[in-house]
């Protein structure tokens, strides 16, 4: 076909922070009477697809046929690939799979998330957030991206001494932020919906603090297994990294405001950013769910998050963007409007 650059060795990568598992499918790219067979490799969780540049070049129009995507066919047009994909993907129905997964866990969406991160999800993310070499290329890339987000948070917080500063790490995972904060002398309260994550975070914190030789007084973080809605108290700083991806927008705004109510001086949020490009490509990734993909992935418009903060008297002071091949996260630092000057 005119403008078609795909060959039998082409790989279409589907990814978004995070993407721990893969599914594969053989596809045919058809232009006119010519079909080029190729292979799709797609990440199973929270995906954004690097697609159009690898399948279409120039102005040609092609149809991708898959024998492993429930018979889906979708059009790809050079220069207009995203619009064409959006139209075709409207026929996809990932909701049925999600409902089935919720029924299998015997609970609502929150129960699905809790179950996932206490079982298969914990096994994967414990590797990704660890130091083991037992990770694939995508997982290693996500590890790098997440570490970059943590480094940016620490840089934001490094504008004043952290000794004795109270910090709430909401959705702490395995402690990738809690532990370095504790090593800097912060008094950290850390929670996660997954008891398995909390136990691992406590184990890592104990090992790190016992071997610390930086001379600063340290206090072991207080870890607790609970959801974000159950967090109470007041803290100088609240951080919530890459957790809003589990909240639809109608709940995310309320959650942002809840987190702000816990903070006295600053709130740090990172989330998967919504754009038309990301949202369409995310839908493509949903066609490759994988056997263990059990959680939804919600993207959030930066304007919506900022609007939720403004409603409760907070303003964004600094912002950063982390983007690797398979990890994309917007980081906002918000402060009370009265303290913004």
pLDDT in tens, 206-218: 999 998 887 788 8
Please report the pLDDT score of residue 91 as a whole number: 47
Single pTM value for the model: 0.72
Encode pLDDT of 28-46 as tens digits: 433 443 434 443 333 333 3
Dihedral sign computed on CA atoms, order 111, 113, 115, 118 = negative
What pLDDT shows up at residue 101? Answer: 58
Residue given tokens 């016992």 in the structure block: 210
34-43 and 11-15 beta bridge pairing: parallel
Q: Residue 285: what pLDDT?
A: 60
Written as six digits, the tokens of 19 are 């993407």
Which regions of the chain are under pLDDT 70? Answer: 1-107, 277-295
Query: Hunting for tokens 């493509």 — which residue is that?
Result: 284
Q: State the pLDDT at residue 326.
A: 83
Give pLDDT, residue 28: 41
CA-to-CA distance for 137 and 35, rounded, in angstroms? 30
What was the pLDDT predicted at 95? 57
**Predicted local distance difference test score (pLDDT) of residue 297:** 82
Containing H/E element for 64? strand 61-66
Distance, C-alpha 116 to centroid of its chain? 15
Cα distance between residue 232 and residue 168, in whole Å: 10
**Domain architecture of the chain: domains with CATH:** 11-91 (no CATH), 109-339 (3.40.50.150)
């Amino acid at each position: 076909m005119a403008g078609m650059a795909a060959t039998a060795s082409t790989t279409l990568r589907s990814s978004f922070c995070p993407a721990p598992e893969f599914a594969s499918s053989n596809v045919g790219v058809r232009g006119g009477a010519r079909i080029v067979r190729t292979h799709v490799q797609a990440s199973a969780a929270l995906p954004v697809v690097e697609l159009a540049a690898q399948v279409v070049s120039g102005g040609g129009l092609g149809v991708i046929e898959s024998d492993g995507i429930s018979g889906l066919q979708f059009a790809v047009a050079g220069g207009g690939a995203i619009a064409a994909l959006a139209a075709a993907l409207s026929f996809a129905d990932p909701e049925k799979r999600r409902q089935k997964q919720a029924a299998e866990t015997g609970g609502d969406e929150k129960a699905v998330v809790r179950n996932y991160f206490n079982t298969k999800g914990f096994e994967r993310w414990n590797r990704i957030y660890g130091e083991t070499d037992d990770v694939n290329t995508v997982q290693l890339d996500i590890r790098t991206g997440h570490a970059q987000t943590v480094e940016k948070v620490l840089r934001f917080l490094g504008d004043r001494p952290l000794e004795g500063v109270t910090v709430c790490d909401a959705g702490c995972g395995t402690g990738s932020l809690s532990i370095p904060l504790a090593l800097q002398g912060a008094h950290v309260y850390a929670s996660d919906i997954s008891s398995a994550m909390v136990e691992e975070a406590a184990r890592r914190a104990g090992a790190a603090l016992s071997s610390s030789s930086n001379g600063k007084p340290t206090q072991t973080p207080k870890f607790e297994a609970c959801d974000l809605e159950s967090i109470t108290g007041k803290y100088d700083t609240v951080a919530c990294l890459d957790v809003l991806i589990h909240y639809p927008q109608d709940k995310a705004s309320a959650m942002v405001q809840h987190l702000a109510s816990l903070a006295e001086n600053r709130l740090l949020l990172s989330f998967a950013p919504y754009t038309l490009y990301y949202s369409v490509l995310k839908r493509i990734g949903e066609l490759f769910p994988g056997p263990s993909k059990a959680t939804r992935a919600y993207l959030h418009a930066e304007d919506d998050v900022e609007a939720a903060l403004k409603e409760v008297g907070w303003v964004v002071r600094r912002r950063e963007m982390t983007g690797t091949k398979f990890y994309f996260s917007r980081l906002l630092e918000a402060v009370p409007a009265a303290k913004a000057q």
